[in-house]
Structure 1
Amino acid sequence: MTLILSWLFILVLIVPDLSSSLLHCPSRCHCDDEKLDVNCEEGHLDVVPIALNPSIQRLVIRNNKIRIIDSSVQFYSELTLLDLSFNYLFNIPDRTFARQNKLQQLHLNHNKISAVSNRTFVGLGELLVLNLRGNLIDLIEPMSFSPLTKLEELNLGQNRITSIGLSTKGLLGLMDLKILYLDDNRLEVVPPEETFRPVDKLAELYIGTNSLNMIRDGAFSVLSELTLLDLRSTLLSNISSGTFAGIENIKCLNLADNRFQRIPTKPLEILRRLEELSIGQNYFETVPGNSFRGLSNLKRFELRGSLYLKRIERTAFQTNTNLESIAIESNKALSVLEEETFSGLLYLKHLSLRNNGFEQLDENMFSWNSLRTLDISDNPINCDCYYSKLLHRLQTTNRISYNATGCPHHLPDQWECEYILDKNKNLISVLVLAVAIVTAIALTFYRFRGLLREYVHNGCKNKSHVAGGVSPVIGGDINRVDYEKAITEDDYVIRQSNLYSNQVQPILNGYPGYMQQNNIYYNKPLPITEL
């Protein structure tokens, strides 16, 4: 009996709480009166409930079928967060949130809203975050957000806003705005300075996934406090050295998914404080040496999904010695990564080379002092001694967490690799010696080429001289034999008679005296032939 009375007493105490909360909580909703939180996500509601606790501070009604916001929202004046995303809202009546003067976050993303005006958000003077992403907005009227004097984040991404649809006074009144999303719209040019001037304290600007094609010099110069700029998927093929003029202090830049055929080294060079760079999905085939010179503070680098990238040179990151994280992933044509590419990066902690086309990776590519994680999986790696040494190094270094590509066949162990290495060394030594000998012989021939040519030439002369029946001159230099054309006997006599016309020549045995010197007698003149 005592136990029954105790249970009745407990029920009397908790029933009032049940009646004030659970009895008014719609089905498929979760209501917490202690945290003043109501969550009706995927509750199949078509209107905002009006029987909830009036003191609730957080109301989440995501993924329902609500088509209109009526006066029911005004019952909850204590709200600090209202989430009506992923519904079917077509418009927001003027002054709908007039009593929500404590609301700090309003999420209306992924609905069917087509327009907003300067009366839409009246009463939201304390609002910090407004999310209108994924609607059908094509026009931002002047001073549409002027009641939101404390707004810090405005998301207008994935709408239909054009360069004309965004009024030059559309952002007027947002003096404290820090984050602005204009990505995935229909902008053809970067909005003019007059548009950005009211939000000159902006820290993050997302303007990617627009057909910008080109960016004029100094387009962002009024945003001198900008630290993040997202220009991904903007069809850019080139940027000039003046593109980033005025925003030299940015720390994060996204240039992925554009049409760059080479790394824009010169325009990037002025970004001395840049810490994060994403530049994948472009058209360049090589990352040359010193591609990111000047970026001495770069800490995180991403290069993903580049279909044409084939090679990264050894000195590509030579001047980026403060890099801590590198992600080079899903570049299927990338097969060449030169030795010691990352060896000079003494602060590199995280390196991912996943899903590329690498067939060989050497342990000398990395700096092992600071490395903490390494991902080399999903590469067509050759299971050779180089890979065996790399895996052995990873397995024996306990501080490194790694993910590696498995080998479908036998991976040579340390002893096999040492044998192969010694064999290759001997073969290389023989080849080097042979090359040295051939080179020495070639150099010797080249050094004495003149003497060899003279020797061969004189040898040919002597052979021709003997073959023609000509004997060397007796008493003279055997290497100096003069040849003349064959002449007749009469011509020979006349020529000699002219030479000695001033002297009386004795005749003996029918021959002049000059032909009898040294007791040499000729029966007839000796014809000399020319070679």
Structure 2
Amino acid sequence: MMLIIVVIQLMILLNNVCLSARFNVRMPQRCPSKCYCDNDVLQRKRVTCIEGGLNAVPVSQMDNQTQIIIVKPASNKAENRISIGRIFTNLEGLEEITISKSNLPAIGDSSFFHCKRLKLLDLSENRLRTIESRDFFGLHNLKKLNLSANELSGLPSAPFHVLINLTHLSLARNNIKKVVPRMFYKLRNLERLELSGNPINELNATDLEDLPKLKELLLDHCQIQAIHPHLYQSLTKLESLDLSHNRLTAISPYEFKPLLHLSSLLLDHNFLTVINDFTFFNLSNLVQLSLANNRLITLSVCAFCGSAVKRLDISSNNFSLFVVNVSQPLSESLKELNISNNTVLHNPSLSFSNLIKPLVKLQKLYASSLKLDDEFDDTLFTNFTHLTHLDLSSNRLTNLSSNLFVSTEALENLDISRNQIYSLDANFFHALNSIASLKFFYLDGNPWSCYRCHIMPLIEWLNQMPSSYLNVCDRRRETDANQHCIECSTPESFKGKALHLISDKDLEWCSHPRLQLRLTASEPRVGYALALVIIISLVIIIVSVVVLYRRHGAVYYTGEEDRCPSLKIPPSCMAVMEDIHPPLTESIADNNSFANGTQAGTKPKIRF
């Protein structure tokens, strides 16, 4: 038995020795002094030079079996100034070459001719100004070519025609102003093309006609103002199209119709003002559509007709109104919607309702900074049984009804932070407790009233130690700097202090709870109504005083006639009236004289 155990141990030891020897055999036999050598995860021999200060690639010091060369100085090292030619003659086993950030001025005729097995060539972040087809002679098996962040400008026709098996090509962040005819000739196997960050103004119908297998096209951060609608007719395999950060002002109806397999379409950060009917017609496989940060004013009723989108972003635009049923074509497909930061809606609550109602399959809704107030329908989410994320932050909500969450049993993340909420009643928290899936609840940034009559329902809920709040506010911390913790706004003695740092016995009572509740609310309409009532009351009081005064004066003077009939004023009356109305007394005396004179037959005196 012991003999068997000894034999087994010897076999294990011999096996370990053999493995060690095999590993050492695969390690590079020679290594340049300014580089380090190892094996990658596929056990390929690799030489990495990151020390900087190189004037040439040290191929003469490398093992002939080297398969990967990486020459790229670290950020804190001296820069390289490298030139290459036919220096890889003895390294026929090379599969990957990276020469980056090395001030390489040119590639050179047939520099890689002997690298028949090369799959990846990365010459990014150099100083290449032009390329020729002869630069790539011998690279029939090359799969990936990275020429990004160089100084390429005027490229000739068909510079890549020898790269018949190329699948990835990056020309991003160069100075290419125009796609010349047949620039991509013979690249029939290309699947990914990056032209991002070039000052390209327009694309013509035939610019990409030689790329029948293209799946990803990146044209972001260019200066594109117009794209010929027929450009896409030869790109029927396209799955991802990035046109963000350009100068597009309009998109034609049915423009994307040939792109049956398109799953991602990015049109954000352009100058679009309207999305016309059938713009996205036939895009039934669209997963992501971004129209954010444009100048969109409206969506036509049939903008999404004939399409299916799972994630839609229309945030940060200039929408004035969302018409009824504009989102109806997406009712079965849309799972995520971002409508945030549309601040010029004429009737935010109505528009919000028009857009959201048909989307009962929504899982994530981001609706911050819309100026939503308490007028929006509290039964809006009644049928939203799939909703997991709801963001209503940075709006003008002062209260939330418990009806809001009747059917949202799948809700995991609720954000009502940075609104104008000062108090929530017990019914709201009772409805909240029925959502067992809730993991994160954000309440911070509201003007909470920490008077006892306002804050107690919230405190009673917090005393239950709800995990949804504790996950965003660590109550164990003893500072006021908790980012998502509730802070008091009133009374003044508690302003800015975290609620969980205040003892219940220190809470102040409201002297007039109903009045206090109104005065602490940040609701402009209450102030306007109160001011209007005060003004109307003052007007009524003033008018009443004036009317009463005039009536009193009329009775006073008519009373004089009653007390002194036939204008014969007794001396007692005259004595009183002389003190009050001297002119009138004089006139009445004249009238008495006139009457007496007439009766006595004497001629009365006429006064003017």
Q: TM-score range by the shorter chain?
A: 0.5 to 0.7
Pairing of 1:189-208 with structure 2 (within 5 A): 189-193=226-230, 195-208=231-244
Tell me the residue number matched to 2:181. 142
Distance 1:252 1:115, change over 3 A: same
**CA RMSD across the alignment:** 3.9
Alignment of 1:63-462 (within 5 A): 63-70=101-108, 71-74=110-113, 76-163=115-202, 166-193=203-230, 195-245=231-281, 247=283, 250-262=286-298, 264-287=299-322, 290-296=325-331, 297-309=333-345, 311-312=348-349, 313-329=352-368, 331=369, 333-335=371-373, 338-356=377-395, 358-366=397-405, 367-372=407-412, 374-376=413-415, 378-386=417-425, 399-406=437-444, 410=450, 411-413=455-457
Number of the residue aligned with 2:32 = 24
Check 1:239–1:291 CA distance in 2 against 1; reply closer, same or farther (3 A cut).
closer
Q: How far did 1:183 drift? A: 3.1
Q: Distance in 1 between matches of 2:344 and 2:102?
A: 44
Opposite residue 82 of structure 2, the aligned amino acid is V
- Taking structure 1 as reference, are residues 317 and 307 closer, same or farther at Cα in structure 2, changes over 3 Å only? closer
Q: In 1, Cα distance between the equivalents of 2:287 and 2:244?
A: 17
Of all paired residues, the percent bearing the same amino acid is: 24
CA contact (8 A) 1:87 1:110 kept: yes
State which drifts further: 332-341 or 9-18.
9-18
Distance 1:15 1:230, change over 3 A: closer
Corresponding residue number in structure 2 for 1:487: none
Say which SS state the counterpart of residue 163 (structure 2) adopts: coil
Give deviations 1:223-268, integer Å, cap 9, x for gaps.
Answer: 4444433322331212322433454664432222222223x14132
SS at match of 1:413: helix
2:367 partner SS? strand
Aligned residues of 1:355 and 1:378 also touching (Cα < 8 A): yes
Q: Give the secondary-structure state (helix, strand or coil) at the position aligned to 2:302.
A: helix
> Equivalents in 1 of 2:449, 2:143: separation in Å?
60
Q: Which amino acid aligns with 1:182?
A: L
Residues 25 and 415 (structure 1), Cα distance of their counterparts in 2 relative to 1, 3 Å cut: closer
Asked if 1 retains the 8 angstrom alpha-carbon contact of 2:360 and 2:384, the reply is: yes
Q: Identify unmatched segments of 5+ residues in structure 1.
A: 1-8, 428-531
Code of the residue aligned with 2:306 in structure 1: it is L
Deviation digits for residues 169-217 of structure 1 (CA, Å, limit 9, x no counterpart): 3212211112222333333322141x33322332333333333322333
CA distance in 2, matches of 1:285, 1:293: 19
Distance 1:288 1:403, change over 3 A: farther
Q: Which deviates more, 152-161 or 112-121?
A: 112-121
Aligned length: 407
Q: Give me the TM-score of the superposition, normalised by structure 2.
A: 0.57
Output the TM-score relative to the length of structure 1: 0.65
**Deviations for 1:111-152, whole angstroms, at most 9, x for unmatched residues?**
221133344213322221212222111121221112211111
Q: Is contact 2:158–2:185 with CA below 8 Å preserved after alignment?
A: no
- In structure 2, relative to structure 1, the CA distance for the partners of 1:412 and 1:239 (3 Å cut) is same
Instruction: State how far apart, in whole Å, the 2-side matches of 1:63 and 1:409 are.
Output: 59
Report deviation, 1:285: 4.2
Rounded to whole Å, the distance in 2 between the matches of 1:277 and 1:244 is 12
* Structure 1 residues 26 and 405: CA distance shift in structure 2, 3 A: farther
**Structure with larger Rg:** 1
